[in-house]
Structure 1
Amino acid sequence: MVEDRWRGHPPEVRGWLGALWGKSAGRAGGTANLLLSHMLDTAAVAEVIWDRYLPQVTRWRLDALAGGVGNGRRLFAWLCGIHDLGKATPVFQQLDAAGEAAVREAGLTWDKYAVKGASWRHDKAGARVLRLLLAEAKWREEQVGWVWPLVAGHHGLLPTLGQLSPPKKNEKLQGHSQPWKLAQLALVEVFTREVGYDGELPLAAVEPALVPSRAMQLQLSGFVVMADWIASDERHFTGVTDLSKVTMPQARQRAATAWSKLELRGGWGTLTVPGPETFRDRFGHGPRPSQELVLDVARRMGGPGLMIVEAPMGEGKTKAAFAAAELMAARHGADGVFLGMPTQATADPMFTQVRSWLRDVGDGLEDQVALLHGKRMFNKEWRALLEDAGEWGQGADDPFSSVGEDEYGMSNDSFDDCEAAERRAPAEWFLGRRRGLLSPFAVGTIDQLLYAATRTKHVMLRMAGLVGKVVILDEVHAADVYMSQFLLEGLWWLGQAGVPVVLLSATLPPEQRHRLVAAYLAGTQSAEEPAALELPEPQGYPSVTAAWSGRDGRPELLVESGESWRGDLAVRVELLNEALVAARNDDPGTADAAVADCLKDRLADGGCALVIRNTVARAQSTFEALRKEFGSDVRLLHGRLHAGHRADRTQEVLSLLGPPREGHGRPERLIVVATQLAEQSFDVDADLLITDLAPIDLLLQRIGRLHRHDGVKRPHRLARPVVVVTGLDLHADGAPHILGASETIYGRYLLLRTAAEIERATKDGGDDWSIPSQVPDLVARVYGTGPVVPQAWIETEAKARQDWEERQAKRQVEAAEYVLTRAGEHGKETLDGLHYGAHSKLSEGQFEALVRDGDRSAEVVLVRRTEDEFHAMTGRKLGPNGTVAAELLDDVISGTVRLPAKLTAAAEQALGPLAGWRDHPWLRYSLALELDEHGEATLGDFQLCYDDDLGLVVSGGRQYR
C-alpha cells in the first residue's frame, strides 16, 4: 500500500473511507464491498481491458488524449473507476441498513428525515460531485464538460446538465456538511493516487491534454459500463471491508483472475499488412479483376474511411470485403469485424462464411464469432458451439429491457462462465444483454448497427463494440427511406470515430450513394450537414467509391471502375400482360392460368424456371395452378413455410439449381415458385425467369438468378436468357394498372418508372438489357428525376411522386423521434443530454419495429394438439403440457413460422408459451400456435391452416397483406 495516499487529509478520513460502502453484502457475496474497493476493482478491470481487449487504434487515441505514449492506460483506468463517486452521498448510503449504521458510526451523519425515501440516482449525484471537485482542481471547463457525462451515464442514459440536480434542490442528499465534502475529496484523491497519479494535487494531474470527439466519448462511456459490469460480478469480486486490504495491487489480482475465468479476449490483435498472396491463401484462388480493384482502392486510401463496392450478383463482393477488412485493420489498428446482413436468413450462412475465413486468418479466431439476431438459438451451428456452455440471457439483444437493474441502477446481472475445457464460441459474458457487439467478431442483421444509431438505453455499449472494428454491411440497397435514417446516422458516428466501413451492393441509385458518402464525411467533420460534395459518378461497372478525411481534415474521394469477370448477358425482356381492372381488384386465377400457359410453351423441351411473386398468397395460388399442370416438378418457397420445411426446400432447390457440381446434373424440368426471398443470397440458376413487377434495382436482383452459372447445359429454346414480367397491365388508355399488392409493398411511383423501362424494352421488339453493364444506367434512370415515362403517364406519375415524397417525408419525421442525435445537435462537443427525450421503455415488439419500416410481425411455433397431447410439426410427441426433452428441441423449433403483420396484435394478445415451455431457456418466450388434428386454428377473426405443401394459409381479410 502507498502510505502517503492519505497525504493532506485528517486522520478521521480513514474511518470514513473504511465505512462508505459500494456494494451491499447481498450484492457482494455475503460481505459488503467498500466503495473504494469497487472503484479500484473497476479501474483494475479497465487496465486488463486495455492490455487484453482494447483495439490498438483506441489505445493510440487514448495515449494522444492523455498527452503522450504510455499515459492513456492510466487515464482509461481512472475514467472507468471514478464512475461510482456518487455513492459517497447520504442518499445512497441510506439504502442498506447495515451499511448506513457503519457510516454513521464512523462519524458521517445526515438528517435522516430530509434524506429518507428520496430518489436521486448515484450516477447523477456522482457527476454533480465530480464537476465540483474538478473545478476546484482547476480543470478547464471543456475538459470537465466531456468527463462528467461518463459518470452520469454509466447506467445507460445520458442526462442533461440540468437533470443532475437533486430533487427539490435538496443539498442534504449530496452531503452539504464539511465532513461529507472532505470524505468525497479524500475518496477521489486516494483513488487517484492508487491508480498512479502522484503529487500534492493528484486530481489536477489527471486532466487530459485534448478533448476527444463525441464518438470517442460515447465509446469510452461504453467501456465504463463494461468495466463496471465485470467488476460487479460478486463471484469474482467478493466484498472487502478491511480498508488496509483495499489496494490497487489487490484489485489487479482480482481483475486478472476474473478476466481469465470469464474467458474474455479481444480480436486478432496487431495484423501484418496482407501481401499479394494473402487472397489466394485465404480463398484458394487469386482475386478476380473486381476483387483486385477493391484491394487497390483500399491500399490507396489515405486514412480510415468509407468504401462502397458495387458489383453484379455472384461477382465475389463478400470475399473482396473480407480481404479489404484485413488490409484496413492492419493499417488502422482495428481489432475485429462486424458484418451486417439484411435478414436473419442471410445472416446465418454468412456466419458460416466468416468463421471459415477467420480460421485461416488466425488460430482459434473462428471461435470468437458471435451470431447476433433474435432467432440465433434456432441456428444449428450456433447451438452446436454452445452445446457445453448454455447461452446466458434469452433477451440478450433487447436494449429496452430493464432486467438486471433496480431503480437506482444497481446491477443484479449474473454471468455463468463456461466450465468446458475448450470454448468454441465467444465468452459467455459477451452473449449477455446488450453486449453482442462487444464480441471480437460478430455477424448479424444490419439492425445491430441501426440500433447503435438510436437514442436508446445503453447505446454506448453498442458504439463501444463497433468502434475499433471494421464494419461491413451487405446489400445496403435493401434499406428503405425509414431504415436509411438510422443507417445515415450510424455512418455519421462511424465517420467521426474513424471506423473503416465497407458497404456492398449490386448497385445503388446515385442519390443514395451520395447520401451514404455525405453522411460518413459529415461525421469526420462533426458537421450537421456535409459540405457541398461533388461525388463523381462511376464510369463503369463494377465500381468502388471511397471517401475519407485527409491529413488536412478535408474530405478526399476516390472513384474507380473495372470489369466483371463474366461478360454481359443479353437479357430479353417480355411482358405477360395481366388484365387488372383496378389497382386493388386483383384476381389471381387468370394470371395463374397465363403463367401456366407460358410455361407449357417455354418448357416443352424441359428446363428450369423461377417464378417470383410479390406476396405469399399470390405464390400459393400460382403454385396450386402450376401443380395441376406440372405435378411434382413444382416447388414452393416463401416466408410462411415453417422453418423446417423452408430449410429443407431451400436446400433442395440450391442443390438442384446451384453451381454445377461434377456428377450432379440438373433436373430435366423444374419450376420454383418463390417470393422476394429469392432476391437475396439465393445462389440458383434459372433457364427462365417469370417475375412480378418490382422497383428496378430489385428486378435486376431477381434477374441475377437468370443464366447465373457457366457450364450449364440448357434446352435449345431456353438458350437465350429471358425475363417475363407480370403483375402489370399496359394498355392504350393512359398509365398502366399495377398489381395492388405490389403498390402496397413498394409504392406506385418507382413501379411506374420501372414499368416505363419495361415498356421501352418490349415495345416494337425493343432492345435487350445488357446485364451487368447496363445495370447502373437502368437504376439511375428510374431513381433519377429525369423524364422516363411516356407522355400519357405524366399526370399519373406526378401524383404518384407527390404521394411518394409525402410518404418519404413522413417516415423521416417518424424516424427522427428515435435517431441518436436530435436535429441541430450534430455539432455538439459532449454527450450532455444525449438521451434527452428518449423513449427508453419500449416493449420488445416495439423495439423490433423501431429501425424497420412497415408493420410488425410476430413469429409463432406451430404445434399440433390432439385432446391432451402435443406433437411437434415433425410428428414427434412432446411431454405433458408440451414439455420438450433435449432431443426434441430441433423438432419443436423447426415449426417456427412468421405470421402476416395483420395477425400480430391478435397473436400477441391470444398466444403465449405452452405450460411446459415456461421454464425452458429458449422456449419460455415463444408464442405457441396450437393446430387441431386438421392443421387448423382460429386467431382473432382469421382462420389459419397449415398445409404441408402450401405452408400457412390465412383466410379472412386481404390476402396480400
Structure 2
Amino acid sequence: MMQSVMEWPAKSPLPDSDVEHPALYHLLDVAAVAEVLIEPFPFSPPLKQAFVALVGLHDLGKFSESFRAMLREGIAQEFRHWELTEIFLYEKDEYLEEWLGGEEDVRRCLYASIAGHHGRPPKVSLQGDKYDECLEQFGEGAESASEVLELFRTLWPEASLAELNEEDAIRLSWWLPGFCTAADWVGSNTFYFPPLAPGLEPQVYLEKARETARKAVQEVGLGSTSARDEALFSFALRPLQTACVDVPLPDGPSLVILEAETGAGKTEAALLLAQRMALAGKGRGLFFALPTMATADAMFERVKQSIGKMFDKPTLTLAHGRAGLSVPFQDLVLGQSRTGEDVPHDKVTSSAWLAHDNRRALLADVGVGTIDQALLSVLPVRFQTLRHYGLSSKIIVVDEVHEMGEPYIAQELVALLKMHRAMGGSAILLTATLPLTWREKLLATYGGEAQSYAYPAITVAGGEAVTAFAADERPQKGSVKVERLGTMDEAVHYLTECAAKGAACVWVRNAVDDAIAAVEVLRQQGIEARLLHARFALCDRKRLEQEVLSRVGRDGTERDGFVLVSTQIVEASLDLDFDVMVSDLAPMGSLIQRVGRLWRHMDRRPAANRPVPAPILKVLSPDPAVIEGERWLQGALGKGEWVYPLPDMWRTASVLFRTGQIEAPEGLRSLIEAVHGDEAEPVPPVLENAENERWGKDSAANNLACLNIVALGDGYRKAGNGADDARYPTRLGDETRTLMVARYTEAGLRPWAQADGSTNGDEKALWHLSELSVRVAKVAHLELPDQAAPAIQAIKKDWPQWRQASVTLCPVQEPEGDICAGLHYDRDNGLVFYNKEDEKR
C-alpha cells in the first residue's frame, strides 16, 4: 500500500545528491519532533496525540501533482501546498471525525492552524470554484494523501479532540501554528534529518525519527527545562526582595506588579518571584522584556548570572535587532555546547540555531529582549504565532512598564497579557512610576483590581497587596531638593562650579541637538565634558558607555570633576551614580527616573564622601506661573520643547516647584498622580489647545492600535494575516533611516568601526557597528552621498535588496568629519547637523 505513497517528494535533492526525501518521511520527522516538544505541556494524552498527528499532517498538500511538478519541473503552483493541506483535511472531515472526534467547528478551526505553519493562515475559500480547483491540484496524489490519513490513524490511535469546545479551539488556534512551525523547522533540518531514499516501513522509520528528534530538540536548545529550588543570591535581601519571597500567589495564571523607586532591587525581586512561580508550575522559563536594546543588553548580563540556579541546564538568548553584536551573547553561543550528556545542572547555554533568528530566540528557555519582540505576537504579522507559542510556556517579566503607557503600545501590552493568560501564562511587571489608572488596566487583564494608593507596593491580581515593608538598613540619600534654573547660562555656571569641587556631574537634555550645544559651551568653559546620545554609531556609543560606566558606574573610579551631557538614554539603560544633576524639564515620571541616577549607590559613596553636601536636582525650565503664550517652553529648552507633551511638562513644573522636593519612596505616588493620573490639575486656558491636541493624538493612536491588534476571538484563520512587520509597527513615532558611516582607506571604503577583539575582524559585524538611526525629516533636505557611486556600490552590491534600500552608506571625510553639506560625524560628538553659514553643531 505504501509504495505509491513513497513516490511523492517533500523537497528537492540537496546539492551533489539525487535523493529526494519522501513527503511521508518528512511528515513523520515533524510528528516525531512534535512528540518531544509537546511533552511538558499540560494537555491530556489523547489531546497531545491529536496535536502531534495534526502537526504531522501539516504538509499533506505535498501529495499533489502541482507540488511535484513545481519541484521537478519548476512549474509555479496556483495554490501553495499548505493551502492544499487545509482543503484536503476539510474535504476528509467525515473520516477525521471518526478518528479524532470532537465538534466540526473545532476540527475545522485547527485544520487552518496547522496549515498556517509558514507564518500566515490559508485564505482560500472553503466553498465554490477555488475549493474545487484546489482538490483538482492533487490529481493522483489524492489517493496517497488518503492513505497517509489511514496510516496516521494507526500510529496515533488514541488521538482525540473530544474534550475541546469551540472557545478552546479558537484560543488554541493561535498557539498551534507556532507549535507546528517550531516542529517543522527542526524536522526540516537536514543535519539531523538528511534525505533518505524510500525503503523503511513507516513504523520503522518513525521509531528512527523519534530517536533523532529527541537528540535534535536537545541540541538546538528546545529540550525544555525544569525549575530548581536553589538560593539565587548570596547577599542579604532588601525589603522588597524579602517580601517577594513571602507574598501569597493565587492558583493558576498570576500577574504581579512590583512598584518601587529606582535602586530598590526590583530586578532581583522579580527573579525571586519568578523562581517561586516556576516551582509552582506557572511557567517553565522566562522572557525579560525591556524598553530598549541597551536595557536588554544590560539585563542579559544580570540574568545570565542567576538563571542557572533557577532552571536545570537552561538555554538563554538575546532577542533584538542587534543581538548579533552583543559580545557576551556571542561568547555564550560560540563557547557553549548542548551536545554533551555531562552538562552541569547549573550550566547556562545557547545554540547557533536559536541565535540565528529573533523569532527562534523566543523559543529558548530564557530570553532577554526588547518588548517589541513580544508585542509582535499580537500583531497580524508573519510568524506572529511562533512568538506566541514561544512565550506561552514562559513567565513574562516586563521591566520599565511605565514607559509603555502611551496609548498605542499600552493597547498592545494589554492584548499581550490577555493572550498570555488565555494560555495559562503568568507575568511580572516592574515599574518605578506607574499611574494608578494604567495599573488598573494592567491588573484587569488577569481579573484583578487596584487595591491601594500606597507606594511602594506589590500588587497581585486577584490576591492581596503588600504595602508594608521592613526598614531598609542601607544608607539612604533622603529627599532630593528641587530648584529651577531659568537659563542655559545658569546651568553651565552651576555645573562648572560643581565640577571644580570634584563632583561627578550630569546634564540630562531632552534633544540631541541641545546636548551637543551644551557640550560645546561647557568645553568653551574649560570643562572636558563627555557626550552621550543616540546619534552615535553603535561602536562609538558602546565605547562611550563603557567609559562613562568606568568613571561613574557602581564601581567607577576617577569620578572627580567628571561631567557628562546625555539625552534620556541614561534614565534606564545605565547604572550610573552622580553627585550633581541638571535636567531639562521633562514629565514627572522621567524626572523621577533621572533622579534615580543621583546619589544612587549610597552604600559605596555615603554622604560624608560626596563633594557636595546634599542631593539637589536642578531643573532647567521656564516659570510655570508665567505663561505668555502657547509656546510656554520656547527659549528655555531649545529643540527639547517638542519632545514631550506640553500639558505634562507644565503640570510637572507646577507641581514640582511648588513641592520643592522629590521624596522617595513616600512622596512618589502623589507626584506621579499629580501629572499622569486622575488627580492632574487642569492646565491654564492658554494651554488648552495643546491639551486638546494631545487628546486627539492619543485617541488616534488608541484607534490605530485597536485596528492593528489581532482579534483573538475571531480565531487564526479569520484574524491572522502574515503581513510584513513594517506594516504593523510595535511603536508609533517618526520614520527613521539607518545611516552607515564609513572611512576612506587605501583599500577603499571600510567600516567606521575598527577591528578589535570583540569582533575578531568580522567585517560584516564591523559594518553593523558603524550604523546609527536618524529621523527621516532631519536628513530629507540634505544631499546625502550618492549611493550609485562606484566606491559605495562596491560595498553594497552583495547586500539584499531591502537592505540596499533602507541603509544609506555615508563616507566620512577625515579629519574634517564632513559627510555632505550640513552633516558632520566624529567619534566624540556623533552625527551633527549644521547650517552652511554656521559652525558645525
TM-score between both structures, scaled by the size of structure 2: 0.87
> For the Cα contact (< 8 Å) 1:857–1:904, is it kept in 2?
no
- The answer for the alignment partner of 2:396 in structure 1 is 471
Displacement of 1:785 in angstroms is 3.6
Displacement of 1:868 in angstroms is 5.8
Amino acid at match of 2:321: G
Q: In the alignment, is residue 487 of structure 1 matched against residue 413 of structure 2?
A: yes
The structure-2 alpha-carbon separation of the partners of 1:149 and 1:602, relative to structure 1 and needing over 3 Å to count, comes to: same
Correspondence 1:105-116 to 2 at 5 A: none
> For the Cα contact (< 8 Å) 1:660–1:712, is it kept in 2?
no
Q: In the alignment, is residue 544 of structure 1 matched against residue 458 of structure 2?
A: yes
Counterparts of 2:233 and 2:812, CA distance in 1: 47
- The answer for the alignment partner of 2:244 in structure 1 is 294
- The answer for the alignment partner of 1:374 in structure 2 is 321
Between 810-819 and 485-494, report the one with greater CA deviation. Answer: 810-819
> For the Cα contact (< 8 Å) 1:475–1:506, is it kept in 2?
yes
The structure-2 alpha-carbon separation of the partners of 1:907 and 1:506, relative to structure 1 and needing over 3 Å to count, comes to: farther
Superposed CA RMSD in Å reads 3.7
- The answer for the alignment partner of 1:808 in structure 2 is 698
- The answer for the alignment partner of 1:677 in structure 2 is 569
- The answer for the alignment partner of 1:187 in structure 2 is 148
- The answer for the alignment partner of 1:708 in structure 2 is 600
Identity %: 26
- The answer for the alignment partner of 1:130 in structure 2 is 89
Counterparts of 2:162 and 2:816, CA distance in 1: 67
Equivalent residue of 1:353, what SS? helix
Counterparts of 1:161 and 1:172, CA distance in 2: 12
Amino acid at match of 1:190: L
Between 465-474 and 900-909, report the one with greater CA deviation. Answer: 900-909
Structure 2 unmatched runs, 5+:
none
* Aligned equivalent of 2:645, options 747, 750, 762: 747
Equivalent residue of 1:741, what SS? helix
Q: In the alignment, is residue 383 of structure 1 matched against residue 330 of structure 2?
A: yes
* Aligned equivalent of 1:151, options 98, 104, 114: 114
- The answer for the alignment partner of 1:732 in structure 2 is 626
> For the Cα contact (< 8 Å) 2:496–2:527, is it kept in 1?
no
Equivalent residue of 1:302, what SS? coil
Q: In the alignment, is residue 432 of structure 1 matched against residue 432 of structure 2?
A: no
The structure-2 alpha-carbon separation of the partners of 1:610 and 1:239, relative to structure 1 and needing over 3 Å to count, comes to: closer
Displacement of 1:779 in angstroms is 0.6
Q: In the alignment, is residue 323 of structure 1 matched against residue 272 of structure 2?
A: yes
Q: In the alignment, is residue 210 of structure 1 matched against residue 164 of structure 2?
A: yes
The structure-2 alpha-carbon separation of the partners of 1:22 and 1:609, relative to structure 1 and needing over 3 Å to count, comes to: closer
Counterparts of 2:501 and 2:335, CA distance in 1: 54
- The answer for the alignment partner of 2:677 in structure 1 is 784
> For the Cα contact (< 8 Å) 1:92–1:122, is it kept in 2?
yes
Between 285-294 and 926-935, report the one with greater CA deviation. Answer: 926-935
The structure-2 alpha-carbon separation of the partners of 1:924 and 1:184, relative to structure 1 and needing over 3 Å to count, comes to: closer
Equivalent residue of 1:192, what SS? helix
The structure-2 alpha-carbon separation of the partners of 1:41 and 1:482, relative to structure 1 and needing over 3 Å to count, comes to: same
Displacement of 1:357 in angstroms is 0.7
* Aligned equivalent of 1:840, options 719, 723, 741: 723
Q: In the alignment, is residue 618 of structure 1 matched against residue 514 of structure 2?
A: yes
Correspondence 1:307-386 to 2 at 5 A: 307-332=256-281, 334-361=283-310, 364-365=313-314, 368-386=315-333
Amino acid at match of 1:700: I
Correspondence 1:20-99 to 2 at 5 A: 20-25=8-13, 30-51=18-39, 56=40, 58=41, 60=42, 62-63=43-44, 70-97=45-72
Amino acid at match of 1:46: A
Counterparts of 1:910 and 1:306, CA distance in 2: 53
> For the Cα contact (< 8 Å) 1:494–1:520, is it kept in 2?
no
* Aligned equivalent of 2:208, options 222, 240, 253: 253
Displacement of 1:618 in angstroms is 0.6
The structure-2 alpha-carbon separation of the partners of 1:512 and 1:27, relative to structure 1 and needing over 3 Å to count, comes to: farther
Equivalent residue of 1:338, what SS? strand
Displacement of 1:889 in angstroms is 7.1
Counterparts of 1:639 and 1:210, CA distance in 2: 50
Equivalent residue of 1:252, what SS? helix
Amino acid at match of 1:282: L
Displacement of 1:363 in angstroms is 6.2
> For the Cα contact (< 8 Å) 1:213–1:497, is it kept in 2?
no
> For the Cα contact (< 8 Å) 2:507–2:565, is it kept in 1?
yes
Correspondence 1:562-601 to 2 at 5 A: 562-563=468-469, 565=472, 569-578=478-487, 591=488, 593-601=489-497
> For the Cα contact (< 8 Å) 1:473–1:504, is it kept in 2?
yes
Counterparts of 1:864 and 1:357, CA distance in 2: 41
Counterparts of 1:745 and 1:241, CA distance in 2: 64
> For the Cα contact (< 8 Å) 1:571–1:768, is it kept in 2?
yes
Q: In the alignment, is residue 454 of structure 1 matched against residue 379 of structure 2?
A: yes
Displacement of 1:810 in angstroms is 1.2
> For the Cα contact (< 8 Å) 1:17–1:183, is it kept in 2?
yes
The structure-2 alpha-carbon separation of the partners of 1:953 and 1:130, relative to structure 1 and needing over 3 Å to count, comes to: same
The structure-2 alpha-carbon separation of the partners of 1:124 and 1:322, relative to structure 1 and needing over 3 Å to count, comes to: same
Displacement of 1:304 in angstroms is 1.9
Between 502-511 and 76-85, report the one with greater CA deviation. Answer: 76-85
* Aligned equivalent of 1:644, options 498, 515, 539: 539
Amino acid at match of 2:130: P
> For the Cα contact (< 8 Å) 1:607–1:670, is it kept in 2?
yes
- The answer for the alignment partner of 1:827 in structure 2 is 713
Counterparts of 1:36 and 1:716, CA distance in 2: 73
Counterparts of 2:240 and 2:577, CA distance in 1: 22
Displacement of 1:950 in angstroms is 2.1
The structure-2 alpha-carbon separation of the partners of 1:238 and 1:667, relative to structure 1 and needing over 3 Å to count, comes to: closer
The structure-2 alpha-carbon separation of the partners of 1:538 and 1:294, relative to structure 1 and needing over 3 Å to count, comes to: farther
Equivalent residue of 1:746, what SS? coil
Displacement of 1:537 in angstroms is 2.8
Size of the aligned set, in residue pairs, is: 810
> For the Cα contact (< 8 Å) 1:918–1:924, is it kept in 2?
no
Amino acid at match of 1:751: M
* Aligned equivalent of 1:656, options 541, 551, 556: 551
> For the Cα contact (< 8 Å) 1:28–1:234, is it kept in 2?
no
Displacement of 1:871 in angstroms is 5.3
Structure 1 unmatched runs, 5+:
1-12, 64-69, 100-115, 198-204, 391-416, 522-532, 548-555, 579-590, 762-766, 878-883
Counterparts of 2:62 and 2:784, CA distance in 1: 41
The structure-2 alpha-carbon separation of the partners of 1:643 and 1:959, relative to structure 1 and needing over 3 Å to count, comes to: farther
Counterparts of 2:644 and 2:701, CA distance in 1: 14
Counterparts of 1:166 and 1:23, CA distance in 2: 29
* Aligned equivalent of 2:444, options 512, 518, 542: 518
Equivalent residue of 2:640, what SS? helix
TM-score between both structures, scaled by the size of structure 1: 0.77
Displacement of 1:265 in angstroms is 3.6
The structure-2 alpha-carbon separation of the partners of 1:288 and 1:371, relative to structure 1 and needing over 3 Å to count, comes to: same
Counterparts of 1:378 and 1:740, CA distance in 2: 34
Counterparts of 1:889 and 1:124, CA distance in 2: 38
Correspondence 1:840-859 to 2 at 5 A: 840-841=723-724, 846=726, 850-859=729-738
